[in-house]
């Protein structure tokens, strides 16, 4: 598991994640190949369900009554990474942060944020992660409203 940046209490009090405005959202979770198998899901993007009362889609694993993830202890790599993401920029993959996250808005100019971004970039450049990304390049998306932090690697 990746060390978390946003405190759990802050996440549980927020209504932002795991819900999406469209069925095909750039923000819906991209699974690694092995996660797709272990979660028994057939696509790279998690299936979403429509919640008619709130006119929005949500991840199949999200429990709106508790504002929690049913799979939290085994949540996908992308969910562990968030509010950080892998962004594709030509042939480069860049570590970015989502500025829609209220905790990021509050902290992104502080020392703790810089230290965490450095920790994450170092971790994601290790052989183990580079091998995972090589086999799962689809997890790098093209996200709007993000801020570039560090270039991680290039692919051809
Ligand atoms: S797997 Fe869990 S953390 Fe990830 S989007 Fe679904 S509900 Fe949210």
Q: Is the CB of 11 under 6 A from ligand 1?
A: no
Percent share of the chain, pLDDT over 70: 97
Q: What is the mean pLDDT of the chain?
A: 91
Tokens of 155: 């692919």
Residue 86, judged by CB atoms within 10 A of its CB (0-12, 13-18, 19+), counts as: buried
Q: What distance in Å separates the CA atoms of residue 18 and residue 155, rounded to the nearest whole number?
A: 29
Burial 5-17, CB ≥16 within 10 A → b, else e: bbeeeebeeeeeb
Whether 53 is covered by a domain: the verdict is yes
Q: What distance in Å separates the CA atoms of residue 141 and residue 133, rounded to the nearest whole number?
A: 12
Whether 48 is covered by a domain: the verdict is yes
Domain with 36 in it: 8-141
Minimum-distance ligand 1 atom for the alpha carbon of 62: 7
Tell which wins on pLDDT, 1 or 126.
Answer: 126
Q: What distance in Å separates the CA atoms of residue 149 and residue 21, rounded to the nearest whole number?
A: 26
Nearest CA to ligand 1 atom 8: 18
Whether 1 is covered by a domain: the verdict is no
Whether 18 is covered by a domain: the verdict is yes
Whether 43 has a pLDDT exceeding 70, the answer reads no
Position 135 scores a pLDDT of 93
Whether 67 is covered by a domain: the verdict is yes
**Edge-to-edge, what's the strand order for the sheet holding 48-51?**
19-20, 56-59, 48-51
Long-range contacts, 68-73 (Cβ 8 Å, 24+): 68/12, 69/18, 71/39
Q: What is the mean pLDDT of residues 101-113?
A: 97
Whether 109 is covered by a domain: the verdict is yes
Q: What is the mean pLDDT of residues 6-28?
A: 91
Q: Is the CB of 31 under 6 A from ligand 1?
A: no
Ligand 1 center from residue 134 Cα (angstroms): 23
Nearest CA to ligand 1 atom 5: 18
How many domains does the chain divide into?
Answer: 1
Minimum-distance ligand 1 atom for the alpha carbon of 46: 6
Please write the tens of the pLDDT for every residue from 45-97.
677 788 877 788 999 999 999 999 998 998 999 999 999 999 999 999 999 99
């Amino acid at each position: 598991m990746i060390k978390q940046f946003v405190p759990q209490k802050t996440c549980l009090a927020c209504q932002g994640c795991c819900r999406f405005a469209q069925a095909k959202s750039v923000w819906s979770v991209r699974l690694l190949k092995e996660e797709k198998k272990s979660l028994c899901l057939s696509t790279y993007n998690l299936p979403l369900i429509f919640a008619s009362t709130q006119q929005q889609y949500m991840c199949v694993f999200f429990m709106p009554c508790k504002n929690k993830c049913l799979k939290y202890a085994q949540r996908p790599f992308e969910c562990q990474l968030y509010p950080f993401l892998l962004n594709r920029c030509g042939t480069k993959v860049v570590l970015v942060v989502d500025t829609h996250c209220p905790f990021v808005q509050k902290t992104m100019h502080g020392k703790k944020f810089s230290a965490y971004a450095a920790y994450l970039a170092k971790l994601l450049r290790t052989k183990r992660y580079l091998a995972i990304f090589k086999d799962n390049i689809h997890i790098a998306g093209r996200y709007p409203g993000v801020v570039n932090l560090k270039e991680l690697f290039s692919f051809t």
